[in-house]
A and B are shown apart, each in its own frame.
Chain A
Amino acid sequence: MVQLGSRLLKGYRGGHVVIRFALGGCTNRPFFRIVAAHSRRARDGKYLEQLGCLDPLPNARGEKVAGLNLERLRHWLGCGAQLSRPAEKLLGLAGFLPLHPMTVTGAERLRRRRRAQEAAVPPVAGGLQQPGEKP
């Protein structure tokens, strides 16, 4: 038991409580647990409390299922916990927090990229038709 003590009763210098995703699951099958943990702990290590879960793969109905224990989330936020960026984005999508600015920025960038790709495609198609038109 003395051997376990040093690993379980770890004391850190500094650090704070964060609410972040802990990755679990198997190969090619991720599963995230939304967790309140010390910031210096390992990503999948010992946490203070599990506040929910997220399944990143869509189910048979085409839905990504997420559960959030809002009462305990409010408690930890009240205790001064920080949020990781993916956690903030997820809560923005859920409607608990306002939409994250990076979500908006990412959406705009994706739109811009798609528009650029669509604009790039027609001139190539026009160029390819020329050999066919002139026999």
Chain B
Amino acid sequence: MAALGAWGTAVQRGRLWGAARALWGWRRPQRALGQDAGKKKDAKPSFTDEAVQNLLYKMTGLDLQKVFRPVKQELKPPKYKLLTEAQLEEATKKAIKEAKEKLTMPPVLDEREPIDDVLAEDKILDGIETTKYIFTDLTYSIPHRERFIVVREPNGVLRKATWEERDRMIQIFFPKEGRRVIPQAVFKDEHLVTVFQQDRHEDILNMCIAQFEPDSADYIRIHHRTYDDIEKHAKYDLLRSTRHFGGMVWYLVNRKKTDGLLIDMIHRDLLDDATSLITLYHMLHPECQSAKEAEERKLQGVDLIKVFAKTESQKEGYIQLALQAYEEAMATSTGS
């Protein structure tokens, strides 16, 4: 979609943090996820750590057919090229590199604090005007986060504009592609239900990234609703090999709802992904029993999953069943 254009051009280092800084002009220090406000930052790994990012990226998968599936564009007749084996390999490598750029994960941030700053109070002007004035600073060279947007209320108070007012004014004067001044009705809760019934989770998430800032309340609410719906109906495959998969896994692991995802991975014979998921779980919750046992006995692969199933999961039975089915399938395939 056109909205992906901004993301496609990002990032030499290929790291999420660089992308967030470049595109949103951010200068604040790294923030921890909202849930763990009480814990120290060094004790708890955050979304942007390299280790966490590597694990999430491995789990996302790289299905080229899905990444490069036809997006609604101008209709052009297909081009056929005759390539040698070496040229085909090179073309595949180039495609993989482009796919990696397309899979850069959008940032996961805390909800932004509401702005509540009064610059001046002029009681003389109370009741003179009937409407408020919004003044926007149109200086081209300052980043949008530092732009001055003030409101003169009818009661004479000169205050800084709220985040919603800021976003609207910036979109009016500096329009961004894919974003509207007034957000679409589809982002309301009652309409999200319809979207989920049509299995269009990825589309709504792409629209949400285009429309809202990553630390706005609406962005976080829509992402959480989408992830909850996917988890409820076990539709994990919809987001696999897209850039939203990492964010979903991070959300589920933080809330310890990983059982459905684990079962889905085992059913699809993605044992490596299952082990990465459990490793990530241990990184985020080091005090849980499964993490301690894994640390002591240095478990790998299927044993790790079994220990996790016994100690941490709610759906132990299902996981055991899935593992059994997998092992039988492995046995028959090696036997035959």
Contacts and interface: CB of A to CB of B under 8 A. Distances in A.
Interface string A59-77: 0001111111111100000
A124 B131 CA distance: 32
B132 A62 contact: yes
A75 B173 CA distance: 21
A65 B136 CA distance: 8
A64 B132 CA distance: 6
A99 interface: yes
14 contacts: A52-B138, A58-B131, A63-B134, A63-B151, A63-B165, A64-B133, A65-B172, A66-B135, A67-B136, A69-B139, A72-B139, A93-B135, A94-B133, A108-B124
Contact of A107 (B125, B136, B173): B125
A63 B135 CA distance: 10
B125 A95 contact: no
Contacts of B138: 52, 67-70
A23 interface: no
B230 interface: no
B10 interface: no
B127 to A, nearest CB: 8
Contacts of A64: 131-134
Nearest to A58: B131
A110 interface: yes
B69 to A, nearest CB: 39
Given A68-B136, A71-B141, A94-B150, A107 B128 contact: yes
A1 interface: no
A82 interface: no
Contacts of A58: 131
Contacts of B135: 66-68, 93-95
B124 A93 contact: no
B169 A65 contact: yes
Contacts of A99: 122, 124-125
Contact of B120 (A52, A63, A95): A95
Interface of B: 119-120, 122, 124-125, 127-128, 131-141, 148, 150-152, 158, 165, 169, 172-173
B152 A70 contact: no
Contacts of A62: 131-132
A128 B121 CA distance: 42
A111 to B, nearest CB: 8
A39 interface: no
A78 to B, nearest CB: 15
Nearest to A91: B135
Contact of B131 (A63, A70, A72, A108): A63
B122 A68 contact: no
A106 interface: yes
A19 B138 CA distance: 16
Given A52-B138, A65-B172, A107 B131 contact: no
Nearest to B142: A71
Nearest to B154: A62
Contacts of A52: 138
Contact of A66 (B127, B136, B140): B136
A108 B128 CA distance: 9
Contacts of A104: 124
Nearest to A98: B120
A83 to B, nearest CB: 16
Nearest to A72: B139
A54 B131 CA distance: 14
Contacts of A103: 125
B134 A66 contact: yes
B139 A70 contact: yes
A88 to B, nearest CB: 14
A93 B152 contact: yes
Contacts of A70: 137-139, 148
A106 B137 CA distance: 27
